[in-house]
Structure 1
């Protein structure tokens, strides 16, 4: 009788004892602690219980780790936006410039050359951003969206006036010089105080691995002459009776997509 009781006690005790198993380690820190590579030849299931198997997931799903507890981790289908292929969002940031640029004289009206330097351009000083391309396959894409407000003004006069301008995106890698990567020119017309919203959107691809700095810049073109000369504000009001600084601010959004 004593023998039967002792066996029953041993079995009952071992049923509730939790032990930690280590593979290639003498001091396991988890129930199963593997110090080395894991080669899984069949399915990986999560969310199982004592009476039900866990989920194995389906094709193209990713294992989502939401917390330390197993119950909240599961398989997740991530929707990639159409047109981006196998790219995923890596970096997203928006900068705001509340300083702007004021032009009071005409500038050059010629064409602009890709990869030219920043000579004769004025930077929107707070529309500067930094990002890193970690992928080494030149498959990453960077999308830049610039929006600003442009206003014209004259001290006197009630006629219609016009002024032309251009805004561009400059990019540099590491310690290299800035290079022009995108540019759009436009015209604002109307009575003094007239203004318009200006947008510039560009996607840069085939960027090499490394650290980058991007900045928005603008320049004056034809602001008129003599009695027709106007002041041109980009990201800054020239007639605060019709436009204030909060309305004129410039924003630039940087989006970096990497292969996943």
Structure 2
């Protein structure tokens, strides 16, 4: 009988008071429980669209919609990963039609290429290199154990004359940089051919391991390294046309970035 009377008084207090606190003298909501709650049955939430009560489905959680709105049930999915295996976590591709051009006077002053072109060299130490603007992009890394792959493609052209004797050609180089540090470089030579304004396709693949966690800036920069028996008006164009026999659509550049990681951070997905 005492228990029944106590329950009646408690229920009466709930109906008469705007705020009720359990183990607290200053409740901050209509019901404020300072301690553990043991639920032996179910939780239901009002569905405002049809005014029904929903108890959710198995493995769902309650998610707040903000002040003044009832919470809703959401499904929580956590990706399953096998330990010590690499997974593709980030991938993106970028393109550029602007490219870079080099006149005869914009040749790089680098002479000792074997010492200048080393992994980790800062772009500021490589005079004459120009970035291809549209390929400078941010990427994200979430694990300390990662492998990042790069695939760069473009077209290189110069307004060279029809080839004669001796050979006419231009040396150039393109580098892939992460946070302005060189991670991959390829040098090539563009030769004059039997047709004027010759062009070639340039392909380049690079890899860097274990970038630090966080955001990094990836870029591609190229340089004119040397010219052999070229006229003073010969322009080297990378990712853009130097003459009208091809156009900017044909010469456009692309960069593909794939980041494989051994996952260390698990980001749940809520539907």
Corresponding residue for residue 259 of structure 1: 262
Shift in CA distance, 26/244, structure 1 to aligned 2, threshold 3 Å: same
Corresponding residue for residue 112 of structure 2: 110
**In the alignment, structure 1 residue 232 sits paired with structure 2 residue 232:** no
Choose from 118, 127, 130 the match for 1:122.
130
**In the alignment, structure 1 residue 145 sits paired with structure 2 residue 151:** yes
Q: CA deviation at 1:89?
A: 1.2
Q: CA deviation at 1:232?
A: 0.8
Choose from 27, 31, 52 the match for 2:43.
27
Corresponding residue for residue 88 of structure 1: 87
Q: Deviation string for 1:168-210 (max 9, x for gaps)?
A: 01111xxxxx211111100111233111111111111121212
The 3-state SS of whatever aligns with 2:178 is strand
1: distance between equivalents of 2:224 and 2:40?
69
Q: TM-score, normalised by structure 1?
A: 0.63
Residues 172-191 of structure 1 correspond to what in structure 2 (within 5 A)?
172=179, 178-191=180-193
Q: CA deviation at 1:127?
A: 0.5
2: distance between equivalents of 1:99 and 1:34?
50
Choose from 121, 126, 140 the match for 1:132.
140
State whether residues 141 and 256 of structure 1, in contact with CA within 8 Å, keep that contact through their aligned partners in structure 2. Answer: yes
2: distance between equivalents of 1:226 and 1:194?
13
State whether residues 23 and 33 of structure 1, in contact with CA within 8 Å, keep that contact through their aligned partners in structure 2. Answer: no
Corresponding residue for residue 52 of structure 1: none
Q: Deviation string for 1:62-98 (max 9, x for gaps)?
A: xxxxxx99xxx9xx999x9xxxx71111111111111
2: distance between equivalents of 1:24 and 1:220?
75
Q: Could you list the runs of 4 or more consecutive aligned residues of structure 1 that deviate by over 4 angstroms after TM superposition?
A: 22-26, 31-35
In our comparison, the structure showing a higher alpha carbon Rg is 2
1: distance between equivalents of 2:149 and 2:98?
24
How many residues matched? Answer: 188
Choose from 226, 250, 256 the match for 1:247.
250
CA-based RMSD of the aligned residues comes to 3.2
The 3-state SS of whatever aligns with 2:123 is coil
The runs of 5 or more residues in structure 2 that have no matched partner are 1-37, 45-54, 62-73, 264-271
Corresponding residue for residue 170 of structure 1: 177
Q: TM-score, normalised by structure 2?
A: 0.61
Shift in CA distance, 23/195, structure 1 to aligned 2, threshold 3 Å: farther
